[in-house]
Amino acid sequence: MSSSPNVVRHQAAVIRSRRETLNGHRSVNLWFTGLSGSGKSTLAHAVEERLHLMGCRTYVFDGDNVRHGLCSDLGFSLEDRSENLRRIAEMVNLFLDAGVISLTAFISPLKADRQRVKEIIGRDNLIEVYCNCPLEVCEARDVKGLYKKARRGEIENYTGISSPYEAPATPDIEVKTNEQTLNECVKMIVEELKERAIIF
């Protein structure tokens, strides 16, 4: 909500439902959460590829990519991480209104921040996907070499090492990325979208 009394929300003639009808599917957000290295981005992009081939309009918000632009002024303190997610949630709202299926791949380690995201986006508009992967597996993958730096004390506030990760108690979808294949995980998510009549 704007703090200025002179800012008034404009009511458009072309609304979300009309865009969804044109697109041939409903809009929703798939919020991927999990430790670094748990496979969030890989899975989000694989799901997007599958949906794209099905004719869906999609967009992936990747944590690293967003921090190059929209959130380039933020660090990694708990406060900055919270603000990072708030901005993303507001951006997701615009994509929901556009009739797009958005996929957001963010560690989003704290329950309170994820709850705030759900309140901003709307619980019915968000499907929480928990990429459950043991820390030791994520560290073994260490695609970016960040865990090693965190262990050496070169990175502060690193989730799973010097900063907490609070796992979702009741995610909408839980995938065990160290046990299930990428294709199996994608299939689970696409089936959930079908069950909810997001896609047909």
Output the pLDDT for position 35.
96
Give a yes or no: residue 34 inside a domain. Answer: yes
* Structural domain count of the chain: 1
Instruction: State residue 4 phi and psi, 5-degree precision.
Output: -95, 130
The residue type of 116 is: R
- Helix (H) or strand (E) segment spanning residue 119: helix 111-121
Q: Which domain holds residue 100?
A: 19-132+165-195
Query: pLDDT tens digits for 55-105?
Result: 999 999 986 677 767 777 787 777 888 898 999 999 999 999 999 999 999
Output the pLDDT for position 48.
98
Query: pLDDT tens digits for 132-176?
Result: 999 999 999 988 899 999 999 999 889 999 999 999 999 999 999
Separation CA 103–CA 126 (nearest Å): 10
Give a yes or no: residue 98 inside a domain. Answer: yes
Q: List active site positions.
A: 108
Read off the tokens for 168: 């979702």
Give a yes or no: residue 72 inside a domain. Answer: yes
pTM of the predicted model as reported, rounded to 2 decimal places: 0.90
| Separation in Å, CA 36 to CA 93, 140, 141, 142, 161 | 25, 11, 10, 8, 11
